[in-house]
Amino acid sequence: MGDRILVLYGSYRSDRMGIRLADYLVQGLAARGNDVELIDAKAIGLPMLDRMYKEYAKGEAPAAMEALAEKIRTADAFLFVTGEYNWGLQPGLKNLTDHFLEEWFWRPAAIASYSAGRLSGARANSAWHCTLSEMGMVVISSTLTVGPIAATLDAEGKPTGSAGEALARAFPRFADDLAWWTEATKAQKTRKAPPY
């Protein structure tokens, strides 16, 4: 089996379009031989951040938080799928991410953004770079920006039209970049333990 990759998605809207991109990425990474799991913030339903996972006594964190902490700790890499809300970060995904800190350390993260318009969530994509770096992840240089989302992927997450063709052309390089950094971080950890 390939790398263990978590694809994290954060929209809480009733008519979620970004789930199409999350599904496309899960399918694409799985087709490359990876062990991929979609982490849907809405389905997990963590509360608004009050106490981080590390602030609970051992064994006292809510069950959903404990289960997610273990998945994060054992993942080789992360892919954040984010919409853009008013030029900023998607609150559902940010809330899920902020419940953890050390659990994210020393693994690569990739970012794929989307929007209803032609800017494809690029501003949120950029904002996530510094956020994920601060949280101890190596953010890869390749990125995906998808928009308008409804004209790029159909309801089953299949590429459609010229925008879908562009996404299908961009995905292999994006996935190759994530795979390279995943291999690099795994190899480095066998040579030398992380400094903290």
- Residues 6 or more apart whose Cβ sits within 8 Å of residue 112: 21, 25, 79, 80, 81, 82, 125, 143, 144, 145, 146, 174
Asked whether residue 156 is domain-assigned, the answer is: yes
Taking the C-alpha atoms of residue 163 and residue 183, their distance in angstroms, rounded to an integer, is 30
> Considering the entire predicted model, what is its pTM?
0.96
Based on its alpha-carbon atoms, the radius of gyration of the chain, rounded to whole angstroms, reads: 16
Contact by Cβ (8 Å): 104, 137: yes
What is the model's pLDDT at position 87? Answer: 87
Average pLDDT, the chain: 96
**Nearest Cα to Cα of residue 53 among 195, 44, 124:** 44
Retrieve residue 114's tokens: 């989307």
Taking the C-alpha atoms of residue 111 and residue 79, their distance in angstroms, rounded to an integer, is 6
Question: For position 102, which CATH number holds?
Answer: 3.40.50.360
Contact by Cβ (8 Å): 41, 96: yes
Asked whether residue 196 is domain-assigned, the answer is: no
Report the range of poorest mean pLDDT among 4-8, 13-17, 27-31: 13-17
Asked whether residue 133 is domain-assigned, the answer is: yes
Asked whether residue 147 is domain-assigned, the answer is: yes
Asked whether residue 97 is domain-assigned, the answer is: yes
Asked whether residue 134 is domain-assigned, the answer is: yes
The whole-number average pLDDT for the span 50-67 is 97
What is the model's pLDDT at position 86? Answer: 87
What is the model's pLDDT at position 77? Answer: 98
Contact by Cβ (8 Å): 118, 146: no
Contact by Cβ (8 Å): 194, 106: yes
User: pLDDT, tens digit, for every residue of 147-161?
Assistant: 999 999 999 999 999
What is the model's pLDDT at position 196? Answer: 85
**For the chain, what is the domain count?**
1
Taking the C-alpha atoms of residue 4 and residue 40, their distance in angstroms, rounded to an integer, is 16
Asked whether residue 71 is domain-assigned, the answer is: yes
What is the model's pLDDT at position 172? Answer: 98
User: pLDDT, tens digit, for every residue of 23-55?
Assistant: 999 999 999 999 999 999 999 999 999 999 999
What is the model's pLDDT at position 190? Answer: 94
The whole-number average pLDDT for the span 159-170 is 97
What is the model's pLDDT at position 117? Answer: 87
For 79, the 3-state DSSP assignment is strand
**Nearest Cα to Cα of residue 83 among 135, 25, 18:** 18
Q: Which domain holds residue 22?
A: 4-191
- Residues 6 or more apart whose Cβ sits within 8 Å of residue 135: 97, 101, 104, 105
User: pLDDT, tens digit, for every residue of 96-119?
Assistant: 999 999 999 999 999 999 999 888
- Phi, psi (degrees; rounded to nearest 5) at 141: -75, -30
Asked whether residue 86 is domain-assigned, the answer is: yes
What is the model's pLDDT at position 88? Answer: 87
